[in-house]
């Protein structure tokens, strides 16, 4: 089935696979952000789902030199003040939690910047003259995570928090690397040679449980998002070393029947003790849980490994959607929920 190109085209009418193939371009998207006159003590990003994902990547690469927090909620931290750089991020521009959090940040006098494709947030940014990074149209927030990362970094550079001169060469190298890497997962590559198709076939009919170390956790979390939204297929995520302090024991007994596919995303850039924890955990849990699919992540830098892993998850989840006989792009139930919430 996954090698039938005509069938793939029919089941993926919005071309999620094509978006996945071209996402390297997002790392090079240019944002024209004027200088922001602020010297923040901390950064708070408000965003939900895929709209928070660029911020999540940034906690791993390039990291932050001042306190940085992501708010996936209506309420902002009590410490937000005039010395806070507050980023309201919503692909649609209409996310109610983010708009509510923005109002609270305004009341505290925070320095406001906005990331959106349009909607109410663009109206607010335009009316109040907030620095604004307009995201290009790519269909769904989860398809725009790399350009959301670039938007956040561009705003932080305008505020003097990071140096785009230092980051751009790494972004460009990662874009070149990713453009070549995804060729191995294209739909015209047969299943026998296509890792993404193979993993999708191993997940079908079972819940996916994805593990990583701290450095790759943003990518592991993106796998969870993709399985749930693209494939309409429940998935869970956790990271080492926290796994060994609780969830590790859970695998040892109940339930006896474990209808799961375990996926280990392993990086040679993680702390050596993290790498050893994967190996020891696999050995001690042998026979108690399904043997993990081990993905040895490729890439010479942390950013390259992150984007490689994210892209593999994108492809895997779209192929899983096709196996599940669902369209990977729309999330109709979410839209139904929003309507019901306002009734």
pLDDT in the model for residue 140: 85
H helix runs in 33-181, sequence order: 53-60, 96-107, 119-128, 145-158, 164-181
Say if residues 212 and 338 touch (Cβ distance below 8 Å).
Answer: no
Q: How far apart are CA 219 and CA 156, in angstroms?
A: 22
Residue 343, helix vs strand vs coil? coil
- The helix (run of H) or strand (run of E) holding residue 255 is none
Residues in the chain where the model's pLDDT stays below 50: none
Say if residues 136 and 110 touch (Cβ distance below 8 Å).
Answer: no
Say if residues 261 and 293 touch (Cβ distance below 8 Å).
Answer: yes
Residue 63 backbone dihedrals phi, psi, to 5 degrees: 85, 175
pLDDT in the model for residue 322: 97
pLDDT in the model for residue 232: 97
pLDDT in the model for residue 262: 98
The domain limits of the chain are 5-11+184-323, 37-159
pLDDT in the model for residue 281: 98
- The helix (run of H) or strand (run of E) holding residue 275 is helix 272-284
The whole-model pTM stands at 0.96
Q: How far apart are CA 202 and CA 206, in angstroms?
A: 8
184 CB neighbour count, 10 Å cutoff: 14
Per CATH, domain 5-11+184-323 is 2.60.40.420: no
116 CB neighbour count, 10 Å cutoff: 27
Q: How far apart are CA 64 and CA 3, in angstroms?
A: 43
pLDDT digits (tens, 9 = 90+) for 207-237: 999 999 999 999 999 999 999 999 999 999 9
Per CATH, domain 37-159 is 3.90.1300.10: no
As a three-state string, the secondary structure of 309-327 is HHHHHHHHHHHHHHHCCCC
pLDDT digits (tens, 9 = 90+) for 13-46: 999 999 999 999 999 999 999 999 999 999 999 9
pLDDT in the model for residue 338: 86
pLDDT in the model for residue 257: 84
Q: How far apart are CA 152 and CA 149, in angstroms?
A: 5
pLDDT in the model for residue 343: 84
Say if residues 85 and 180 touch (Cβ distance below 8 Å).
Answer: no
Q: Do domains 5-11+184-323 and 37-159 have the same CATH topology?
A: yes
Name the CA dihedral angle for 38, 44, 46, 49, rounded to a multiple of 10 degrees: 130
């Amino acid at each position: 089935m996954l090698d039938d190109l005509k069938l793939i085209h029919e089941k993926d009418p919005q071309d999620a696979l094509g978006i996945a193939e071209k996402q390297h371009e997002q790392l090079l998207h240019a944002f024209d952000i004027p200088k922001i006159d602020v010297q923040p003590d901390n950064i708070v990003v408000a965003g939900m789902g895929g709209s928070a994902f660029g911020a999540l990547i940034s906690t791993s690469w390039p990291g932050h030199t001042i306190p940085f927090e992501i708010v996936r909620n209506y309420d902002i931290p009590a410490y937000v003040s005039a010395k806070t750089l507050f980023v309201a991020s919503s692909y649609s521009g209409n996310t109610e939690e983010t708009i509510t959090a923005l109002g609270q940040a305004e009341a505290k006098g925070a320095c406001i910047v906005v990331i959106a494709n349009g909607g109410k947030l663009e109206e607010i940014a335009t009316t109040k003259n907030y620095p604004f990074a307009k995201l290009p149209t790519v269909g769904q927030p989860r398809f725009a995570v790399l350009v959301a990362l670039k938007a956040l970094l561009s705003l932080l550079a305008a505020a003097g928090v990071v140096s785009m001169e230092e980051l751009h060469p790494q972004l460009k190298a990662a874009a070149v690397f990713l453009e070549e890497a995804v060729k191995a997962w294209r739909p015209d590559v047969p299943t026998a040679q296509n890792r993404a198709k193979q993993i999708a076939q191993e997940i079908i009919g079972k819940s996916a449980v994805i593990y990583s170390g701290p450095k790759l956790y943003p990518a592991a979390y993106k796998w969870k998002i993709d399985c749930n939204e693209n494939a309409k297929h429940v998935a869970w995520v956790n990271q080492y070393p926290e796994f060994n302090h609780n969830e590790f024991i859970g695998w040892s007994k109940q339930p006896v029947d474990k209808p799961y596919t375990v996926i280990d995303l392993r990086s040679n850039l993680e702390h050596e003790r993290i790498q050893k924890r994967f190996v020891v955990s696999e050995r001690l849990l042998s026979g108690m849980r399904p043997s993990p699919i081990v993905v040895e992540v490729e890439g010479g830098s942390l950013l390259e490994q992150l984007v490689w892993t994210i892209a593999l998850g994108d492809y895997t989840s779209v192929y899983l959607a096709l196996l599940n006989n669902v369209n990977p792009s729309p999330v109709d139930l979410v839209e139904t929920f929003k309507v019901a919430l306002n009734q």
